[in-house]
């Protein structure tokens, strides 16, 4: 029923489902349209004793399937008592360009950080889980999301230099979970190619600073999905999110472990 992709982790053999979706499904968008989401929240407490979840969303069209995946995520996570905040980067008109003030860092940490970046850093600090929802552009993040990584994670990584990387990364993100959920136009991607794409998307900006990165949710072949399949795939995404905090945390991937796995370096 589902194609599957290889988990990017040598210790885990269980594979998450890979789906085939339509990039722009007006009818499904209408079905999901009644689900709303918040752009901001006050304080750092979760409703009903749940967790704090930040969804960083990077797609310009609300009626796209990425939009449907976003709304489903908010619906399911909220129903489980979690506090959900969405950073809709296009709606926010988020500036993806790194500016000089973004690098105003002293020995005690960042200073004079621009307001838009500090707001995103604050959201990350409050979150127990950060979900990134986006379409794959040229084997990577869309520019606006890459800019979010460049500007927000570099502020966090300024602290990493004082501690270390990976398991010794920044205390503000250590123990937090991160999850990539993205769609592709290609109906299939070789496992080796997918792993190569995930290296700069997962390891560099997420594992390296201390996030526990979960197996990504990859949605292949967004051009050809029927409405029936789209609803089925949404149900799969919903099922995963309903127990996302119960998923075992994969072994933290590093550049070295990836290189050894692919025989890029000798033992």
Confidence label for 80 from pLDDT (cuts 50, 70 and 90): very high
Confidence label for 76 from pLDDT (cuts 50, 70 and 90): very high
How many domains does the structure of the chain reveal?
1
pLDDT at 23 exceeding the cut of 60: no
DSSP 171: T
The whole-number average pLDDT for the span 33-38 is 38
Here the tokens at position 101 are: 């003030």
* 125-180 tens-digit pLDDT: 999 999 999 999 988 899 999 999 999 988 777 654 566 666 655 666 778 999 99
pLDDT at residue 20, as a whole number: 38
* Cβ–Cβ < 8 Å for 238, 76: yes
- For residue 267, being part of any structural domain is answered with no
CATH number for the domain including 226? 3.40.50.360
Whole-angstrom Cα distance, residue 95 to residue 89?
Answer: 9
* 202-218 tens-digit pLDDT: 888 888 888 889 999 98
Among 247, 265, 264, 257, residue whose Cα is nearest residue 10: 257
- For residue 13, being part of any structural domain is answered with yes
190 or 202: whose pLDDT is higher? 202
The whole-number average pLDDT for the span 52-66 is 95
The whole model's pTM is what? Answer: 0.79
pLDDT at residue 250, as a whole number: 77
- For residue 266, being part of any structural domain is answered with no
- For residue 50, being part of any structural domain is answered with yes
160 or 67: whose pLDDT is higher? 67
The whole-number average pLDDT for the span 188-196 is 80
- For residue 115, being part of any structural domain is answered with yes
Q: What is the 3-state secondary structure (H, E, C) of 110-158?
A: ECCCCHHHHHHHHHHHHCCEEEEEEECECCECCHHHHHHHHHHHHHHHH
Among 213, 218, 201, residue whose Cα is nearest residue 247: 213
SS3 content of the chain, % helix, strand, coil (to 5): 40, 20, 40
- For residue 92, being part of any structural domain is answered with yes
pLDDT at residue 158, as a whole number: 64
Here the tokens at position 33 are: 């349209």
């Amino acid at each position: 029923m589902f194609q599957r992709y290889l988990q990017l982790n040598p210790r885990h053999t269980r594979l998450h489902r890979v789906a085939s979706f339509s990039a722009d499904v007006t009818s499904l968008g209408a079905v999901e349209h009644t689900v709303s989401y918040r752009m901001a929240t006050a304080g750092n407490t979760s409703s009903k004793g749940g967790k704090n979840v930040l969804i960083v969303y990077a797609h310009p069209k609300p009626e796209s399937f990425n939009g449907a995946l976003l709304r489903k995520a908010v619906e399911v996570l909220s129903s489980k008592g979690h506090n959900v905040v969405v950073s809709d980067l296009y709606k926010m008109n988020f500036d993806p360009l790194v500016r000089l003030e973004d690098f105003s860092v002293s020995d005690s940490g960042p200073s004079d950080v621009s307001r838009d970046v500090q707001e995103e850093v604050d959201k990350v600090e409050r979150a127990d889980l950060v979900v990134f929802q986006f379409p794959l552009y040229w084997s990577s993040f869309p520019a606006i999301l890459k800019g979010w990584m460049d500007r927000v994670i570099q502020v966090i990584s300024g602290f990493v230099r004082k501690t270390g990387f990976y398991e010794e990364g920044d205390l503000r993100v250590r123990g937090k979970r991160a999850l990539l959920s993205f769609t592709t136009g290609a109906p299939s991607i070789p496992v080796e190619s997918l792993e190569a794409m995930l290296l700069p998307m997962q390891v560099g900006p997420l594992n390296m600073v201390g996030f526990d990165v979960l197996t990504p949710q990859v949605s292949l072949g967004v051009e050809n999905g029927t409405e029936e399949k789209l609803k089925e795939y949404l149900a799969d995404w919903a099922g995963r999110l309903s127990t996302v905090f119960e998923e075992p945390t994969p072994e933290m991937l590093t550049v070295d472990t990836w290189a050894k796995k692919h025989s890029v370096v000798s033992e």
